Homo-oligomer: A and B are copies of this chain.
Amino acid sequence: MKALKKLNIIHYDSEFLSRNGFKYLVTDSGEFRLIGSFEDKAEFLKTINAEYPNVVVFDFTSKDSLTSADIEKIREARKSPGFLVISNNFKKETICEFMDCGVECFVTKACSKDEILLAIKAAAKGERFFCNKVLEFIIDKSFQKKEDCEPTKLTTREIEILKLSAEGLDAKEIADKLFLSLHTVYTHRKNIMKKLNLKSNSELIKYAYKNNIVST
């Protein structure tokens, strides 16, 4: 069937309000066909494989969110749809992760109707679209970093110790908790600070909060 070819959109968000707000948005404009707005991930993924969406829209902070592995699977299965994240609470790491696996567009839920519509169309064409807030966020947060999106890599043990530090535990408590020598904790912390270019335990804790390594 020729006629005017509407863009097929599929949506996944655990928030009721967002699902219905989105439903209203895309159906009202008349330019799109909404395949569905899903709360359940399994059902959502099944429908993607049955229908042929041009654009996949999702909130990556949903309860049982899409992972980058999910996205890659979708990409592999067919001609890749465009991906658009509509969310709040963007975290640097998460944005990077999804950018790396090919998600084109990111907007916040605070964005205007027009901006969201623009983002959908951009995603359909495989173009990038970041709303100002996301953009600001990326620029701001990637200030101190070098080239890539990843912060200097910490080992699992180092991250563990960083987290506990940010929880307010001192070196001794961490040592007790992890059954380590106090010296070990100091050494790890020293290495963390070296890798992240920090100069005190306070800065380390600050880093953990600013970079969402612990929840606020």
Chain A residues near B (Cβ < 8 Å)? 14-25, 63, 86, 88-89, 109-113, 116, 165-170, 198, 200-203, 205-207, 209-210, 212, 216
Contacts and interface: CB of A to CB of B under 8 A. Distances in A.
* Assembly stoichiometry (copies): 2
Nearest to A202: B168
Nearest to A198: B168
Nearest to A203: B168
A206 B166 contact: yes
B165 A202 contact: yes
A210 B216 CA distance: 5
Contact of A15 (B110, B207, B216): B110
A199 to B, nearest CB: 8
A209 B167 CA distance: 11
